[in-house]
């Protein structure tokens, strides 16, 4: 399939987003533009992933739309630098910590000055020169001086908050800005009244309320920044795996070059203990390689001339020379990083509900806050009471927790998957995987090792076993098919003379028709015999016996008569039985699909515990088999090698490719398992279930928090004799809600099967 040349997908880093209302506003604006196919903005990664048609809209125009909303699109980085990323994150954390501690230093004395004179029974020491009753102006001016550095520390809430109101896309900062501004303006007015002689106005100052709110929110933002850094640790580890330099052979001279300068075709030397720089093929040497950082497979892999090496893997024993075949963004590691970044930048369908609500949430909260304040004024309460209600609603209703609930869990979940060798290409796949109730397994190379061996050679008069093998050897010689390789291996071991092949015709799903020594020869299954009207009734008992033993019987016919049967067996993978047992415990139905004879397939299915068998299925019909199950209402996953099974993988709700992460596998599947272990299918589904469960927990608490918090802040409990929510406690609750969501998401880092 040729890629759509009219479509481009880019990721734009965006500065200035503080809550889900921000990301939703940008999404709404971009998705309305002609030429933008889909825009997805992720708050946790601070990244916009945009699919667009460059013939209809330019990248500069997309950036202009983001800027008009009050946000800053940053330079698109094509190659991430882990050191720069770490430095940037560390700088951001240090800035947040500085602002927080600065606000703490001034808020503590501010709070003491404001509250100590009012709490008579504790008899806190307090200088007479600052007494609110005797020296109210001094008392008021000191509070005003103490609150100003706190406001400066939280100035971003005001600059961003009011700017977003101006751009008609209010966000979390807008709520904080208006709420604390109301407290500050009223307090400044009280200072003016005191200076004018109204000393009773000293009771109407709320400098400490604004200061404590800003400090608590800065605490939440600081913890949030630290937690966000932890959510992206997995991708940082992947980026940091690549070595900085490599030894390249230039004639007879060894030259140390930066990895970026290696070109395809260069001969690279890897010494014991060294890292493989780029992907390539060994041309000289023998070694064992640790590929655990790419595949999750803990056991080192033996490598010899002709075998592939993957960048970032570790050479354990021997010195090898290899020719670079993939460099830069084409290496397996680069592709893995790209997949993980795309998955973390995309959005799960479950997130859309939260995003839609968050997008309309802030304006609705403004209305609720104003109406509640007015309602209390009309009911006879004073301006102070109404102001408390107004501020508390604005502060407690921030939708940060809603905006972080899904992307943080997705980031941690997909990052954990990458560590385990389970690459999830999109959030949709991660979400759908938890609903899977039926899994179809391809047999060869998936349930089995894919390397069958010849177990039986049965000849029928007038032919001998050696003649049967020699015909089959001649037909299959040069073929890459696993069954052909088994026959070739047997022929080589038996020193079989290869007969000259005069004609050759491969019949997909049936077998091969050929001419050898002037004779018509057929090698294949019963369908092939039927197609050429070959009588085989006499040999059916032998055929059935071989099939019932779990072997694949191949019929050989010469000049229109059956000459023999060759039986081959494909050995089950060591973890196949265990994986199927675990899937059954997860209440998932298992199906095996194969082109093998029914009895052969049933025998293998019985050994591994498969529920149902779809046998004698042609390669092109696998997708139709998946479709039939989907039409019956099943949520179907297809597990295959990602090459032969590409149509079926694409048809399934979730396509899972088992293998070493080849290009075709990555293109056709939704989930790529980097090692050929069926237990990773279980891991992928279990990880999906754990991630979605985590998201639902986050969304539940985020929604419940707002559903309960807003009425309490509006004075619902006060109506029935309960307390009125103090804006300070509202700020603490808002900050902790975001931190609790992030902490819950980080629990996924300890996921184990």
Burial class of residue 533 (count of CB atoms within 10 Å of its CB; 0-12, 13-18, 19+): exposed
Residue from 648, 655, 657 nearest 627 by CA: 648
The number of angstroms, rounded, from the C-alpha of 494 to the middle of its chain's C-alpha atoms is 51
CA distance 695 to 702: 10
Q: How many helices (H) and strands (E) does the chain have?
A: 26, 26
Query: Cα(282)–Cα(303) distance, rounded to whole angstroms?
Result: 8
For 302, 331, 492, 644, 674, the CA distances from 662, given in Å and listed in that order, are 19, 10, 30, 12, 9
Instruction: Tell me the C-alpha distance between 588 and 59, whole Å.
Output: 45
* Partners of residue 672 on adjacent β-strands: 423, 657
Owner of token pair 């905006």: 403
How far is residue 376 from each of residues 19, 184, 383, 512, 619, measured CA to CA in Å?
29, 21, 9, 88, 72
**Token pair recorded at residue 620:** 């092109």
The 267-270 sheet, strands edge to edge: 253-258, 245-250, 267-270, 320-326, 279-284, 308-309
Tokens read off for 23? 């990301």
Q: Known catalytic residues?
A: 442
How far apart CA 397 and CA 364 sit, in angstroms, is 10
Q: Which two tokens stand for residue 98?
A: 């500085």
> b/e per residue, 91-125, with b = 16+ CB within 10 A?
eeeeebeebbebbeebbeebbebbebbeeeeeeee
Ramachandran angles phi, psi of 61, nearest 5°: -70, -40
The number of residues in the chain equals: 753
Encoding tokens for residue 539?
């040999």
Q: Which helix (H) or strand (E) holds 728?
A: helix 727-746
Cα separation of 594 and 575, whole Å?
Answer: 19
How far apart CA 569 and CA 648 sit, in angstroms, is 25
Pick from 687, 38, 694: nearest CA to 406: 694
What span, in angstroms and rounded, lies between the C-alpha atoms of 258 and 534? Answer: 64
CB-neighbour burial class of residue 180 (10 A; exposed 0-12, middle 13-18, buried 19+)? buried
3-state DSSP call for residue 7?
A: coil
Tokens read off for 189: 């007015």
Cα 223 to Cα 96, 227, 335, 742, distances in angstroms: 9, 6, 32, 9
Strand order in the sheet with 314-315: 301-303, 287-290, 314-315
Q: Which pair of tokens denotes residue 646?
A: 């590409």
**CA 327 from chain center: how many Å?**
24
Cis peptide before 655 (omega within 30 of 0): no
**DSSP reduced 3-state for 581:** helix
């Amino acid at each position: 399939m040729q890629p759509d040349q009219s479509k481009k997908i880019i990721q734009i880093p965006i500065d200035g987003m503080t809550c889900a209302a921000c990301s939703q506003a940008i999404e709404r604006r971009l998705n309305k533009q002609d030429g933008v196919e889909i825009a997805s903005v992720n708050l946790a990664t601070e990244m916009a992933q945009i699919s667009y048609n460059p013939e209809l809209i330019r990248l500069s125009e997309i950036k202009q739309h983001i800027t008009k909303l009050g946000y800053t699109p940053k330079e698109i980085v094509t190659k991430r630098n882990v050191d720069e990323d770490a430095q940037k994150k560390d700088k951001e954390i240090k800035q947040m910590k500085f602002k927080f501690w600065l606000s703490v230093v001034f808020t503590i004395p501010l709070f003491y000055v404001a509250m100590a004179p009012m709490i008579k029974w504790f008899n806190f020491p307090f200088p007479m020169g600052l007494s609110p009753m005797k020296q109210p102006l001094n008392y008021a001016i000191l509070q005003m001086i103490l609150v100003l550095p706190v406001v400066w520390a939280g100035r971003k809430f005001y600059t961003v908050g009011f700017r977003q109101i101006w751009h008609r896309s209010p966000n979390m900062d807008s709520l904080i800005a208006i709420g604390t501004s109301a407290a500050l303006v009223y307090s400044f007015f009280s200072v003016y009244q005191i200076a004018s002689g109204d000393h009773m106005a000293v009771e109407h100052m709320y400098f400490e309320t604004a200061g404590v709110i800003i400090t608590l929110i800065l605490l939440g933002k600081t913890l949030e920044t630290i937690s966000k850094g932890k959510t992206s640790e997995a991708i940082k580890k992947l980026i940091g795996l690549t070595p900085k330099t490599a030894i390249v052979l230039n004639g007879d001279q060894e030259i140390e070059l930066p990895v970026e300068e290696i070109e395809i075709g260069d001969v690279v030397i890897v010494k014991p203990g060294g890292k493989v720089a780029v992907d390539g093929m060994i041309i000289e040497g023998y070694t064992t390689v640790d590929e655990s950082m790419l595949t999750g497979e803990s056991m080192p892999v033996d490598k010899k001339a002709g075998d592939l090496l993957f960048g970032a893997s570790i050479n354990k024993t021997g010195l090898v020379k290899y020719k670079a075949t993939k460099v830069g963004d084409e290496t397996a590691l680069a592709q893995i990083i790209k997949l993980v970044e795309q998955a973390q930048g995309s959005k799960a369908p479950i997130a859309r509900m939260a995003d839609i609500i968050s997008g309309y949430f802030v304006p609705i909260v403004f209305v609720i806050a104003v109406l509640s304040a007015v309602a209390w004024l009309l009911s006879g309460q004073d301006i102070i009471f109404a102001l408390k209600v107004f501020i508390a609603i604005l502060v407690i209703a921030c939708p940060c927790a809603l905006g972080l609930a899904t992307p943080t869990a997705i980031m941690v979940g997909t990052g954990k998957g990458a560590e385990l060798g389970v690459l999830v290409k999109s959030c949709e796949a991660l979400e759908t995987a938890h609903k899977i109730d039926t899994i179809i397994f391809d047999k060869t190379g998936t349930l089995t090792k894919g390397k069958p061996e010849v177990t039986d050679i049965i000849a029928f008069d007038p032919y001998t076993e050696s003649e049967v093998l020699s015909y089959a050897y001649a037909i299959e010689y040069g073929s890459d098919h696993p069954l052909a390789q088994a026959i070739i291996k047997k022929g080589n071991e038996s020193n079989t003379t290869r007969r000259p092949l005069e004609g050759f015709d491969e019949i997909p799903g049936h077998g091969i028709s050929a001419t050898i020594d002037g004779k018509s020869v057929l090698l294949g299954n019963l369908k092939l015999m039927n197609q050429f009207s070959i009588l085989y009734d006499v040999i059916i008992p032998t055929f059935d016996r071989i099939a019932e033993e779990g072997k694949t019987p191949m019929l050989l016919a010469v000049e229109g008569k059956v000459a023999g049967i060759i039986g081959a067996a494909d050995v089950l993978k060591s973890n196949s039985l265990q994986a199927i047992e675990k899937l059954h415990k997860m209440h998932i139905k298992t199906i095996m699909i194969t082109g093998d004879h029914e009895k052969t397939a049933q025998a293998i299915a019985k050994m591994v515990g498969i529920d149902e068998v779809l046998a004698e299925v042609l390669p092109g019909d696998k997708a139709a088999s998946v479709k039939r199950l989907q039409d019956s209402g099943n949520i179907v996953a297809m597990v295959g090698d990602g090459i032969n099974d590409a149509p079926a993988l694409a048809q399934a709700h979730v396509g899972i490719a088992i293998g070493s992460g080849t290009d075709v596998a990555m293109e056709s599947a939704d989930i790529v398992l980097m090692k050929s272990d069926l237990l990773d299918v279980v891991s992928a589904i279990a990880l999906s279930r754990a991630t979605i469960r985590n998201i639902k927990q986050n969304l539940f608490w985020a929604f419940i928090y707002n559903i309960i918090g807003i009425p309490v802040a509006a004075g619902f409990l006060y109506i029935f004799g309960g307390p009125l929510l103090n804006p300070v406690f509202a700020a603490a609750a808002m900050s902790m809600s975001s931190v609790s969501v992030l902490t819950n998401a980080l629990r996924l880092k300890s996921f184990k099967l």
